[in-house]
């Protein structure tokens, strides 16, 4: 019985640790650039992209595979878009409208 209880407790603790390990960071598009040019994340971490400019942006995520891409669509001024990075690897996040808006994301 004690062994079962200990196992259940260990499982629950693991889940809690895993949930706590996933984090979320916020990256803005401000002045036609991302507020940071790179980020290092763990699997399951999220980035919330904000549009702090007064024009429409886009969030397009390329990677981790050569042919992998996810277009989160257009982002109006003040709007946010969120993406969860589930796979390990290297990503490139871009605005398809403004070529200079880009950041590298590494997921371990």
Partner 1 sequence: MVGPGAERARAVGMMRDAACAILPLVLLLGPGMRPALAVPAFAAQTSQPCATCHIGAFGPHLTPQGRDFKLHGYIGSDGKDHGLPLAVVTQTSFTHTAAPQPGGAAAGFKPNDNVALDQVALYYAGRITPEIGGFIELKYDGFKQQLQVDNVDIRRAREGELFGQDAVWGITFNNAPTVQDAWNSTPVWGLPFTRSSLAPTPMAAPLVDGGLNQRVVGAGAYMLWNDLLYAEADMYKGLDATALRATGQVPIDDGAHTTAFMPYARLAVIRDWKNHHLELGAFALSASVVADVNQIFGLSTRKTDAAIDATYQYISDPAKVTSDRLSAHATYIHENAAMDASPAQALTGALLDHALDTFRVDVSYSFAATVTPSVQYFRTTGTPDINYWGTPNGSPNSDGMIFEVGYVPWGKPDSLFSNLNLRLSVQYVSYFSFDGSTANAASNNNFYYSVRTAAKF
Binder among 7, 21, 55, 79 for partner 1 (CB under 8 A): 55
Q: 59: Cβ–Cβ under 8 A, 6 or more apart, which residues?
A: 49, 71, 72, 73, 75, 81, 83, 93, 94, 95
Residue 105, classified by CB atoms within 10 Å of its CB into exposed (0-12), middle (13-18) or buried (19+), is: buried
Name the minimum Å distance from CB 80 to partner 1. Answer: 16
Put the strands of the sheet holding 102-107 in their side by side order: 38-41, 102-107, 89-94, 57-62, 69-75
Name the minimum Å distance from CB 23 to partner 1. Answer: 26
Q: By C-beta, is 34 or 45 nearer to partner 1?
A: 34
Which residues between 66 and 105 bind partner 1 (CB under 8 A)? 71, 73-74, 77, 96-100
Name the minimum Å distance from CB 54 to partner 1. Answer: 5
Q: By C-beta, is 29 or 45 nearer to partner 1?
A: 29
Give contact residues for partner 1 (rule: CB under 8 A). 30-32, 52-56, 58, 71, 73-74, 77, 96-100
């Amino acid at each position: 019985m004690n062994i079962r209880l200990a196992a259940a407790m260990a499982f629950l603790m693991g889940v809690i640790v895993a949930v706590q390990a996933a984090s979320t960071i916020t990256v803005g598009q401000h002045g036609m650039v991302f507020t940071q040019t790179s980020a290092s994340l763990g699997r399951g971490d999220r980035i919330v992209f904000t549009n702090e400019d007064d024009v429409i942006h886009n969030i397009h995520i390329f990677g981790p595979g050569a042919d992998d891409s996810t277009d989160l669509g257009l982002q109006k001024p003040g709007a946010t878009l969120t993406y969860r990075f589930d796979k390990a690897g290297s990503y490139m996040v871009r605005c398809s409208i403004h070529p200079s808006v880009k950041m590298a994301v590494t997921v371990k």
